[in-house]
A and B are shown apart, each in its own frame.
Chain A
Amino acid sequence: MKIFLLYIDPGSGSYLVQMIIAGILAGLFYFKNLWMRIKSFFVKSKKEENSEND
């Protein structure tokens, strides 16, 4: 049986998960951006979609 999270506030349970996810994402986005920069050096960049450009 799993522990029932009755006395835990809605945020704190997810804080640790977010720390881990954010760590992984930081690495991923770093390499993605690096790759995009290398790519854009060789390929002329297409215009960004601006429909969701907030």
Chain B
Amino acid sequence: MINEPTAIQHHPASFKDPSGFIFKANGKFYRQINRSYAENYDLLMSSGLYKVLTEKKLLIPHTEVIDNANQSPDWYKTILPEQLPFISYPYEWSFDELKDAAMVTLRVLKIAVKHGMVLKDGTSFNIQFYEGRPVFIDTLSFEEYDETKPWIAYRQFCECFLFPLLIEHYHKIDAQKLLSVYLEGIPASTTAKLLPFKSRFKLSTWLHVYLQASVSAKNKPTSKPATASFSKTKLLNLIQSLQNAIKPLRVETSLQSTWNNYYDETILSKNYLDEKEKIFRDFISNINDGRTMDVGCNDGYFSKILAEKNRNIIAVDFDSQCVNKLYLDIKSGTTKNILPFCIDLTNPSPALGFNHLERQSFAERAKSDTVTALALIHHIVLSKNVPLADVARMFAELTINHLIIEFVPITDEKSKQLIANKATYHKPYSPEAFEKNFSSYFETERKAIIPGTERILYRLKKR
């Protein structure tokens, strides 16, 4: 029972679909199903589609709650989906995360068609990452399949998945940031202008991008419903064609990004890493908090150590190639409790969409019981020119209980590199200044100098 007597507001991101909405009660997210969606919901459950999708871990499982908590006249049922540890958005995913999300959407569609249903929308916001893999979360996206109709969400799917992937594939640039501007996907006409000339010679790109761009430009809007008839074979061919188009898309993993060979090539010795790991393991040994956020996670070396204790780890880094590498690493390995995302702490995702409420800012979602920030502070202070006092406040807002943070002094080789071409930086930047600024929000529980270096590892407790 939900036991919330007053009418509950729908979640600010859950207003587009009249079939139902998400609401929060007693700290949990529920989904109300409206009467208008009753037949489709019953078909999802009775056709065996729900069972197949949840068994394959493609759709988030739910339980039905017999309670009209909202006192809503449209109420048909309330479901309680399995709760997700963290909500992320497509513009925070790496290339392969978006690619896998696209493949999952197509797989879900293909299975749905076999069960007499179809996806009525194809947005990337229907996907979340859970237990190391993309999972479809919108239980209300399925509707009865009419074989005479083409796929209503085809264009939306292309704009949200295929087009950003193609731009990234052809230019090897971090195009997913564009998705925070184009929240509803990048239009075909824009994509056609952004892609290089050679992409026209690839049949799938020509069909889905150039042909689509030119047809929709020439095709004047009419109020007449589309009458042309389609078929199941045609739809399955279309899905197959989209799968074939997406499967070979790649970003270079060998390309040198800022960090992705940091541990392999760095002048910092293996010895430093061993010593740091020893202290780090000691510091985290008796912390048993729920969610841990590893900021500046790099290749995830320390995220994996944190993950050994079965915590939910959110690993973030501003370098999308590092994040991609870590994602592929987790995908092929056995550790499933790390979710890597592309976040720049000095320019985190803002609140977006209708009323600035539809997509939450990173700060609203990021609060974690434990936060770890290793070899990061010198980048924020020395490269990005953020004063220590502001850094301390930012970490205080992010942390609920513990902060494990490494201080990299100005005399360190890496710090010297960062200020080599700078006239000045925010002073004082010293262990004393660090401790003074952080003491406004935290008390120091543990402190250890990493042997062989002047770097200091702190375990701080939020006041």
In contact, B150 and A5 (Cβ under 8 angstroms): no
In contact, A19 and B230 (Cβ under 8 angstroms): yes
A51 to chain B, nearest CB (A): 11
In contact, B211 and A17 (Cβ under 8 angstroms): yes
Bound: A6/B158 CA distance, A: 19
In contact, B237 and A26 (Cβ under 8 angstroms): yes
In contact, A12 and B241 (Cβ under 8 angstroms): no
Q: Which residues of A contact B203 (CB under 8 A)?
A: 28
Q: Does B189 touch A at the CB level, under 8 Å?
A: yes
Q: Which of B214-264 contact A (CB under 8 A)?
A: 215-217, 219-223, 225-226, 228, 230, 233-235, 237-238, 240-241
- Using known A-B contacts A25-B237, A26-B237, determine if residue A5 contacts B111 with beta carbons closer than 8 Å: no
- Using known A-B contacts A18-B151, A26-B237, A54-B110, determine if residue A11 contacts B217 with beta carbons closer than 8 Å: no
A7 to chain B, nearest CB (A): 6
Chain B interface size, as a band, is 35 or more
Among B155, B203, B207, B240, the one with the most A-chain Cβ atoms within 10 Å of its Cβ is: B155
In contact, A14 and B241 (Cβ under 8 angstroms): no
User: Helix, strand, loop or mixed for chain B's interface?
Assistant: helix
Q: Which residues of A contact B219 (CB under 8 A)?
A: 13, 16
With contacts A11-B226, A12-B225, A22-B150 known, what are 20 further pairs, Cβ within 8 A? A5-B216, A11-B150, A11-B152, A11-B153, A12-B221, A13-B216, A13-B221, A14-B150, A14-B216, A15-B150, A17-B212, A17-B216, A18-B151, A21-B211, A21-B238, A22-B235, A22-B237, A25-B207, A54-B111, A54-B114
A selection of 18 A-B contacts at a CB cut-off of 8 Å is: A2-B217, A3-B220, A10-B121, A10-B155, A11-B155, A12-B225, A13-B155, A14-B151, A17-B216, A18-B238, A20-B215, A21-B207, A21-B212, A21-B241, A22-B150, A25-B207, A29-B240, A54-B56
